[in-house]
């Protein structure tokens, strides 16, 4: 049965495979990886739209690098139904540059990249090192058990975002649950709307405070640009939304993956110099931010396949990062492999703006955690670790761990 054959009705077309219930919690849904021979197959969307599903590495890079594919939310069809959204998405709120195309996107992106300076990144690295140590001290004191999500994986990225925006870490409670609601696919449209309003109100107040009394941080820096208060608050919201959950889930799910692969864990413990490449391999292997959507602005040929104007293309980062033609033996976590070239941070003009920061956080956090607790292990059987099945960012809800006290 060839789903691309002429005469196939749309009802016969596959939808996006999402069922992860088979086997390993780190592997993509089986239906996805089985598609590597069909890197751009036709797919049915939630509203019946017929578009494409990209599972091949080369096709994904070509799509994401091509300006004839738009990121504008209002042009996209959703692969799965979302509460309160019958199929299409409203345009990006002010400051959410992920949903913009050039030239609007370019203007914001330039302003932002200019503020992610080497000096600021170095400063943040020192803060991450100090703060990681403080989190581990607190964990050790309260131990010998912990929920790694709450004790470690969430606080470290939250601190980095606080530093970036120039807010006291104690303010994090004002935004952390709101960001969680925004990413929760089970939250209804009303709850999401309320969370978004509350977040923007908080950031609006913050922008006014920074204008009145600038401090040494990215948000204060941006007040010297020609951005309006509304744009600044929106950008603050984007940084919160993009930088919190992604990194937190990488830290928790990454620790779970390492604990489940003792040979890899031992190799990293024996040589902390492997931290940077372990981070790349975990990014590839786990692909927590998935999928990425684009819409064809005109007829485009990608990798020998014609995509018609108006078609939505779903790039499955998980499948792409397990493409056997790009990464041999893709389902194996192998910290010695060269995992660079993975698309966990996306590709093209929207490629993650915070990737260096995220890398620093992870390269500091993983080795520090393992060094502090040489006997770290799961406190429950692996099957009982609750997974975030229904979220735009994959990961674990909690990660109960334990260790031997010395
Ligand atoms: C964009 C992943 C951490 C800020 C993206 C995109 C991906 C991604 C896949 C591209 C979206 C698209 O093409 O539609 C991740 C992962 C992270 C991470 C896996 C952690 C491991 C961060 C952090 C920050 C951040 C820490 C902020 C400090 C952004 C921003 C964009 C973005 C602002 C939008 C860029 C644009 O549209 O030009 N991220 N991210 N991210 N990320 Fe990240």
The rounded distance, in Å, linking the Cα atoms of 89 and 227 is: 25
Cis peptide before 144 (omega within 30 of 0): yes
**Nearest Cα residue to atom 1 of ligand 1:** 352
**First-to-final CA distance of the chain:** 61
pLDDT at residue 88 in the model: 67
pLDDT at residue 38 in the model: 81
pLDDT at residue 313 in the model: 97
Q: How far is the CA of 123 from the centre of ligand 1 (A)?
A: 20
pLDDT at residue 338 in the model: 93
Nearest atom, ligand 1, residue 357 CA = 26
In a 13 Å sphere around the CA of 32, the CA atoms on its Cβ side amount to: 26
pLDDT at residue 171 in the model: 80
Secondary structure of residue 53 in the 3-state scheme: strand
**Nearest Cα residue to atom 34 of ligand 1:** 98
Tell me the per-residue pLDDT of 22-59, one tens digit each, with 9 for 90 and over: 678 999 988 887 666 788 999 999 889 999 999 999 99
In a mutational test of the pocket of ligand 1, which residue from 242, 285, 314, 348 has the highest number of ligand atoms less than 8 Å from its CB?
242
The rounded distance, in Å, linking the Cα atoms of 144 and 146 is: 7
pLDDT at residue 80 in the model: 85
pLDDT at residue 277 in the model: 96
Q: How far is the CA of 355 from the centre of ligand 1 (A)?
A: 7
pLDDT at residue 89 in the model: 81
pLDDT at residue 18 in the model: 83
pLDDT at residue 31 in the model: 80
pLDDT at residue 1 in the model: 46
Q: How far is the CA of 67 from the centre of ligand 1 (A)?
A: 19
Tell me the per-residue pLDDT of 187-197, one tens digit each, with 9 for 90 and over: 788 888 888 88
In a mutational test of the pocket of ligand 1, which residue from 104, 354, 362 has the highest number of ligand atoms less than 8 Å from its CB?
354
pLDDT at residue 157 in the model: 92
Q: Which regions of the chain are under pLDDT 70?
A: 1-9, 21-22, 34-36, 83-88, 185
């Amino acid at each position: 049965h060839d789903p691309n054959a002429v005469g196939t009705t749309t009802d016969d077309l596959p939808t996006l495979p999402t069922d992860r219930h088979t086997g390993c919690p780190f592997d993509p849904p089986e239906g996805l990886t089985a598609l590597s021979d069909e890197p751009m197959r036709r797919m049915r969307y939630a509203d019946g739209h017929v578009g494409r599903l990209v599972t091949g590495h080369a096709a994904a890079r070509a799509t994401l690098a091509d300006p004839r594919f738009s990121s504008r939310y209002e042009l996209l069809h959703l692969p799965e139904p979302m509460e309160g959204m019958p199929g299409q998405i409203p345009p990006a709120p002010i400051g959410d540059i992920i949903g913009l195309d050039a030239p609007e996107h370019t203007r914001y992106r330039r302003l932002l990249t200019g503020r992610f300076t080497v000096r600021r990144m170095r400063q943040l690295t020192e803060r991450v090192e100090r703060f990681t140590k403080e989190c581990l001290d607190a964990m050790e004191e309260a131990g010998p058990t912990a929920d790694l999500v709450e004790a470690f994986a969430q606080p470290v990225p939250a601190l980095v975002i606080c530093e970036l925006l120039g807010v006291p870490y104690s303010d994090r409670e004002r935004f952390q649950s709101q960001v969680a609601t925004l990413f929760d696919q089970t939250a209804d449209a009303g709850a999401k709307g309320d969370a978004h309003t509350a977040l923007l109100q908080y950031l609006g107040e913050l922008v006014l405070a920074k204008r009145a009394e600038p401090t040494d941080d990215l948000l204060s820096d941006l007040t010297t640009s020609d951005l309006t208060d509304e744009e600044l608050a929106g950008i603050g919201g984007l940084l919160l939304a993009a930088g919190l959950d992604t990194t937190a889930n990488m830290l928790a799910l990454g620790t779970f993956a390492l604990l489940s692969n003792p040979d890899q864990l031992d190799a990293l413990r024996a040589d902390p110099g492997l931290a940077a490449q372990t981070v790349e391999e975990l990014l590839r292997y786990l692909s927590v931010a998935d999928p990425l959507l684009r819409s064809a602005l005109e007829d485009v040929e990608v990798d020998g396949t014609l995509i018609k104007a108006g078609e939505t293309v779903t790039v499955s980062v998980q499948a792409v990062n397990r493409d056997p033609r790009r990464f041999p033996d893709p389902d194996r976590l192998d910290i010695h492999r060269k995992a660079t070239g993975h698309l966990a941070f996306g590709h093209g003009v929207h490629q993650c703006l915070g990737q260096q920061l995220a890398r620093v956080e992870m390269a500091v956090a993983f080795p520090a955690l393992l060094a502090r607790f040489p006997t770290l292990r799961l406190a429950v059987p692996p099957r009982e670790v609750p997974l975030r099945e229904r979220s735009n960012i994959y990961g674990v809800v909690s990660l109960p761990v334990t260790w031997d006290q010395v």
